[in-house]
């Protein structure tokens, strides 16, 4: 890591411990996920890519440019972390998508699935809206996922560490890093 990148990774006395996935590894995997998703759907599916903010925004922006199908994008905002490093278990829906899910293939894009709490709370709410399918794509998946739910599309299996970068944050810091690191 260059000294400039290292300086970017030190904020408020917090510093990254190590780079887990480099910028090049992340970009290559996003390309591959875009191809996998493109093969899994057709134009008739009327694909709606639903990003879970804030963490997924960098990943989602790169991913949708790699999907070779017409698609729509919308967002939802849920919170379960606050300023901590462990999920509170209390998932609050702060913004609900405006797009109709009725009869559409919905791809829910997450930055990381770790405890599984957010998905356990959100998926039933989304499933009740009549989509033709509801599939999860996540950049990172931790084997500690509480209910064993493995998203259909997974970028990387992640170590059991607190990760930042490429949209993932700690108290809103570190999202800007182009790689994924352990804090």
Known catalytic residues are: 114
Integer angstrom CA distances of residue 94 from 42, 108, 138, 160: 31, 16, 20, 27
Phi, psi for residue 5 in degrees, rounded to 5: -65, -40
176-179-183 Cα angle (round to 5) = 80
Beta bridge partners of 164: 181
Beta strands in 1-59 (DSSP E): 10-11, 14-15, 18-21, 48-53
Contacts 24+ apart (CB under 8 A), 16-19: 16/164, 16/165, 16/174, 16/177, 16/181, 16/182, 16/183, 17/161, 17/181, 17/182, 17/183, 18/181, 18/182, 19/179, 19/180, 19/181
In the structure encoding, which two tokens stand for residue 141, read together? 């998946």
């Amino acid at each position: 890591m260059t000294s400039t990148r290292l300086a970017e990774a030190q904020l408020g006395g917090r510093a990254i411990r190590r780079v887990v996935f480099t910028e090049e590894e992340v970009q290559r995997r996003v390309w591959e996920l875009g191809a996998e998703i493109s093969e899994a759907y057709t134009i008739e599916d009327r694909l709606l890519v639903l990003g879970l903010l804030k963490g997924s925004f960098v990943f989602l922006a790169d991913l949708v440019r790699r999907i070779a199908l017409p698609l729509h994008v919308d967002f939802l905002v849920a919170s379960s972390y606050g300023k901590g490093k462990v999920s509170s278990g209390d998932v609050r829906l702060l913004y609900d998508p405006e797009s109709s899910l009725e009869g559409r293939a919905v791809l829910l894009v997450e930055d990381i699935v770790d405890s599984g709490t957010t998905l356990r709370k959100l998926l039933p709410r989304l499933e009740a809206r009549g989509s033709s399918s509801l599939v999860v794509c996540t950049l990172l998946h931790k084997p500690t996922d509480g209910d064993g739910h493995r998203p259909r599309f997974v970028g990387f299996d992640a170590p059991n560490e607190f990760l930042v970068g490429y949209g993932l944050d700690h108290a809103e810091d570190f999202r800007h890093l182009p790689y994924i690191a352990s804090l």
